[in-house]
C-alpha cells in the first residue's frame, strides 16, 4: 500500500508552475471521485431540472477534504420557527467556515405548520448544507 502524503497548507504564489499544475490535477481527481460517490448514491434531489445536493452529499464532500460540519447552536425565533448556526471544522477542530439558516418562518412553504422539533431539525440541516 502506498504511503499517504500529508497535504500541507500553502500559498499559491509559493508554487512553481509545475507544482501548481500538479495541485490542480490532484484537486480535479479528488472532485471527480467525490462526484462519483454523490452520483452513485443519488445524494441529490432534482428540482426544475437542476440537481441540489442533500446534506449527506455535503458531508461526504467535506470528509473528502478532511472537514466536517457541526451545529453550534439552534434557537427558537420570536415570530415562530427556528434558526441554527453550523460551522465547518478541520481535523484539528479549527473553524474554517460556517452558515446560519432558518426554518418555519413566514413564507417557508410546507414547514411553517410543522412541529417545532421538525423545524429545529430542518434549520440545523439547512445550516450544515
pLDDT digits (tens, 9 = 90+) for 38-74: 999 999 999 999 999 999 999 999 999 999 999 999 9
Give the position of cell 415562530.
80
Would you say residue 27 has pLDDT above 50? yes
Which DSSP helix (H) or strand (E) runs through 50? strand 50-53
Sign of the torsion angle spanned by Cα atoms 12, 17, 22, 26: positive
At 103, the pLDDT band (50, 70, 90 cuts) reads very high
* Partner residues linked to 44 by β-bridges: 53
Is residue 52 classed as helix, strand or coil in its secondary structure?
strand
- For the record, the C-alpha cell of 38 comes out as 454523490
As a whole number, mean pLDDT of residues 71-81 equals 96
- What pTM, to 2 d.p., does this model score? 0.77
Would you say residue 9 has pLDDT above 80? no
As a whole number, mean pLDDT of residues 67-91 equals 96
Short-list 35, 33, 26, 34, CA closest to 8: 26
Amino acid at each position: 500500500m502506498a504511503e499517504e502524503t500529508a497535504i500541507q497548507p500553502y500559498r499559491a504564489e509559493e508554487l512553481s508552475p509545475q507544482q501548481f499544475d500538479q495541485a490542480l490535477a490532484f484537486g480535479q481527481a479528488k472532485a471527480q471521485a467525490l462526484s462519483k460517490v454523490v452520483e452513485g448514491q443519488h445524494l441529490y434531489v432534482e428540482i426544475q431540472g437542476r440537481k441540489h445536493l442533500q446534506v449527506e452529499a455535503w458531508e461526504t464532500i467535506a470528509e473528502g477534504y478532511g472537514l466536517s460540519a457541526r451545529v453550534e447552536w439552534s434557537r427558537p425565533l420570536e415570530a415562530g420557527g427556528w434558526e441554527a448556526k453550523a460551522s465547518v471544522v478541520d481535523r484539528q477542530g479549527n473553524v474554517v467556515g460556517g452558515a446560519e439558516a432558518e426554518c418555519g418562518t413566514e413564507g417557508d412553504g410546507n414547514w411553517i405548520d410543522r412541529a417545532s422539533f421538525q423545524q429545529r431539525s430542518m434549520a440545523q440541516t439547512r445550516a450544515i448544507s
